[in-house]
Amino acid sequence: MLAAERQRRILELARKSGTVRTTELAGDFEVTEETIRRDLDFLARAGHLRRTHGGAMDAAVSLAELSQSEREARQLAEKVAISKEAAALVQEGETLLVDASSTALEFATRLPEGLRLKVVTYSLAVVERLSNRADIELIELGGVFDRRGRRFSGLLTEAALRMLRIDRFFFSGGGFDPKLGMGEPNPDQARLKRMMLEHAAWNCALTDHTKLGAPTDNFFAKPEELDAMVCDKGGKAFAKRYLTSTPYELHFSR
């Protein structure tokens, strides 16, 4: 295959999924990783891609925060797989704090039935998904409502959280850096999640493979502050290269 044809197909993949990984592309096209890096560098210089740790992302994808509906539609299969794996970590009688990310929404949907649980959230979407679950005590943290993100935030949200015991906090973010941790494009959301991280007894990041190494700002969770991370199987190549020794448990979906 000519380089120009390979680069065209790489760009198509990036525009379809938002991001591409060097190791995966090398396997798909049966070339060396160095060849793929040269392709990605060429496409980045042309303004089509934005380079990331271990790959690249579509330059047309804004780094600004997406809406709730936009986030729900991206990498849905991976989020479902992550959610099933993460739900197995939940134990009887626990109080769970679930953030307003689309991955955490899928996690909430797949909480095992029959367990006596309490779910605390500031996400309207999570409340809607769990409203018919009689086995779950559901607590919505109030505050100022953000229509785009379909979530609450502000002083009332924080004050209500401080009154509750949180056994486990399940959350996601805009990107994960192996050294800096989890970040958010929205600084207010990063500050809120930082407070939640400090308040919870146990913290778990739910991260699909497209967020591993993805550029972001406003870091709120350092790697050493995590107790666990759950990722889809597409993140194994990244983990093998960048997460060989972690201070947290690393789980992959089946």
Domain segments of the chain: what residues? 3-58, 68-252
Q: Where are the beta strands (DSSP E) in the chain?
A: 19-21, 49-52, 55-58, 95-98, 117-121, 136-140, 144-146, 151-153, 168-171, 175-177, 181-183, 203-207, 219-221, 228-231, 249-252
**Is the pLDDT confidence value at 65 over 60?**
no
pTM of the model: 0.75
The pLDDT score that the predictor gives to residue 61 is 59
Query: Are 58 and 15 in contact, with CB atoms under 8 Å apart?
Result: yes
Task: Give per-residue pLDDT as tens, 129-165.
Answer: 999 999 999 999 999 998 888 899 999 999 999 999 9
Q: Averaged over 223-245, what is the pLDDT? A: 95
- Domain 3-58 sits in CATH at 1.10.10.10
pLDDT tens, residue by residue, 105-135? 999 999 999 999 999 999 999 999 999 999 9
What percent of the chain is modeled with pLDDT above 70?
94
Calculate mean pLDDT across residues 188-213: 95
User: Distance between CA 201 and CA 230 in Å, rounded?
Assistant: 17
User: Which class is domain 68-252?
Assistant: alpha beta
